[in-house]
Amino acid sequence: MARIKFEAVGKKYPNGFAALENLNLDIADKEFLVLLGPSGCGKSTTLNMIAGLEDVTDGNLMFDDAVMNTVPSHKRDVAMVFQSYALYPHKSVYENIAFGLRMRKYPKDEIDRRVRDAARRLEIEPLLERRPDQLSGGQRQRVALGRAMVRQPQVFLMDEPLSNLDAALRISMRAEIKQLHQAMQTTFVYVTHDQAEALTLADRIVVMRGGVVQQIGVPDEIYERPRNMFVASFLGNPPINFIEGKLVDLGSGMAVERGGLRVALPPEAALKVQGQSGRDVVLGLRAEDVVEDPSPVADATLSGRVAAVLPVGSDQFLEMEVEGSKLFLRLGKECRYREGDNASLTINANRLHLFDKQSTQSLLWA
């Protein structure tokens, strides 16, 4: 019903600046797709293209095999929720929600039914006669959602809708959006720069940077098997730790060496880099992949000076200096290290990531 396909789509501006390059993306019907990336990566441009707010300069954008490149927004069946809600200030909440339906000439009673239905689901019924400036941020967000919901569109577009809300509200709204998706059974395309949001909500994530797609996959895959250093560092909080080093052949397997630090690679990984001793690589270690083990394991230990200890209620974070690099690691509350101590932590070698230093591409996963 609403398959969206990007075929080699590009967006170039007259001065040569390319916001999008060769985007190939197939969005399945009823999928919840998240476009994730830093500002300027092209995710909003992509969303705007689906909405018809921006022109496609190269390639084809198709809705169910119909080329939509030149179809203006008001002729497409999409609904959009904006970061700043974009509610019409001079209209009541009721009118805001009803506006899209009125423009499409739905009969009055149908409009009324849909508006009240949506208002009930979003629990904003008592607000129907109020004006946007009389509402709180969270309430405004619901009205914006309502406005999109009543249209029952083929595609639901969301451009960082939760960025303007405070932290607690953001988390509860995420759950509501997820439920909305289940209830509406429609394709959702969601843009955000918040990796936690992406991991929570998405059926699939498209990681973008500088107009180029970095990786497309289900959340688990993106997190566990990042294809390059950018994707590895963008997902995960705190960001992944990178340690530069060289490959060495230990005879019994491959390892990465940096100064006094040597980390042995697990067999499957070692296989992929067999015989490449001397290659400049970057090791990727997530903060949660270390433990405090009283008995240090050979070639799997991080030792260094603790530069800072930051307790955060449920865990502790350690900032450690290892061979000149600063690493952020997470440990349990029981850990008793203090600033200035020399610490020794065991690495979970099975969860290591390995990248080529030059190309930043992953050496473990294609």
Residues at the contact surface with another protein, assessed by CB under 8 A: 13-15, 17, 48, 51-55, 70, 72-74, 78-80, 82-90, 99-100, 103-104, 132-133, 147, 151, 157, 167, 237-239, 317, 328
Q: How far is the CB of 104 from another protein (least distance, A)?
A: 5
CB 171 within 8 A of CB 177: no
Q: Which is nearer to another protein, 135 or 281 (CB)?
A: 135
Residue whose structure tokens are 């197939």: 26
Q: Which is nearer to another protein, 43 or 147 (CB)?
A: 147
Q: Which is nearer to another protein, 62 or 349 (CB)?
A: 62
**Helix H or strand E segment including 245:** strand 241-249
β-strands 280-285, 241-249 pairing: antiparallel
**Helix H or strand E segment including 242:** strand 241-249
Q: How far is the CB of 263 from another protein (least distance, A)?
A: 23
Q: How far is the CB of 20 from another protein (least distance, A)?
A: 13
**Helix H or strand E segment including 222:** helix 219-224
- Beta-carbon contacts of 41 under 8 Å, excluding residues fewer than 6 positions away, are 208, 209, 210, 211
Q: How far is the CB of 336 from another protein (least distance, A)?
A: 22
Instruction: State residue 123 phi and psi, 5-degree precision.
Output: 60, 40
End-to-end CA separation in angstroms for the chain: 32
257 DSSP β-pair partners = 246, 262
Q: How far is the CB of 272 from another protein (least distance, A)?
A: 31
Q: How far is the CB of 270 from another protein (least distance, A)?
A: 31
Q: Which is nearer to another protein, 133 or 268 (CB)?
A: 133
Q: Which is nearer to another protein, 237 or 350 (CB)?
A: 237
Q: Which is nearer to another protein, 88 or 291 (CB)?
A: 88
Tokens found for residue 90: 């001079």
